[in-house]
């Protein structure tokens, strides 16, 4: 059975999900910095920012796992062109870059958690 989804289309979806990871993590980091302005609601804004960075991490892991599953599926299907395999090879590199970014986010979340006594 051949896939009705074009490889490039699937990679474009992955890039869109990756963009969402970058945007939501930026919002959470901005909220951490912005929380210092508030006296009364500082803890609440930090908790919201912590939840958003957690969401960003989960979204990144889901995006990477989805693309990895698709790559494995396509490799099992032997009816692909050389260009398809080149795109899949490039997509693997994007997965590793996303995992690297997620590890940075986890480190930031851990540092903020320890330094601000959130939760």
Measured at the CA of 104, the angle between CA 103 and CA 109, to 5 degrees, comes to 95
Q: What is the pLDDT of residues 39-51, one digit of tens each?
A: 888 889 889 999 9
Q: Looking at the predicted structure, is the pLDDT value of residue 3 above 50?
A: yes
> What is the rounded CA–CA span in Å between residue 21 and residue 33?
19
Residue pair 47/119 in contact by the 8 Å Cβ criterion: yes
> What is the rounded CA–CA span in Å between residue 69 and residue 48?
31
Over residues 19-29, mean pLDDT: 95
Predicted TM-score (pTM) of this structure? 0.86
State residue 25's pLDDT score.
Answer: 95
Q: Looking at the predicted structure, is the pLDDT value of residue 118 above 90?
A: no
State residue 60's pLDDT score.
Answer: 96
Across the chain, mean pLDDT equals: 88
State residue 76's pLDDT score.
Answer: 84
Tell how far CA 55 is from the center of its chain: 9
> What is the rounded CA–CA span in Å between residue 101 and residue 22?
9
Q: What is the pLDDT of residues 26-75, one digit of tens each?
A: 999 999 888 888 888 888 988 999 999 999 999 999 999 999 999 888 88
């Amino acid at each position: 059975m051949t896939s009705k989804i074009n490889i490039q289309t699937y990679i474009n979806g992955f890039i869109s999900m990756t963009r969402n990871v970058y945007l939501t993590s930026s919002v959470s980091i901005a909220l951490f910095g912005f929380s210092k302005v508030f006296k009364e609601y500082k803890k609440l804004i930090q908790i919201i920012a912590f939840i958003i960075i957690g969401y960003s991490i989960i979204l990144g892991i889901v995006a990477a796992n989805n693309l990895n599953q698709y790559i494995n599926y396509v490799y099992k299907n032997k009816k692909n062109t050389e260009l398809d395999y080149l795109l899949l090879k490039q997509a693997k590199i994007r997965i590793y870059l996303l995992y690297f970014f997620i590890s940075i986010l986890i480190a930031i979340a851990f540092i903020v958690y320890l330094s601000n006594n959130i939760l």
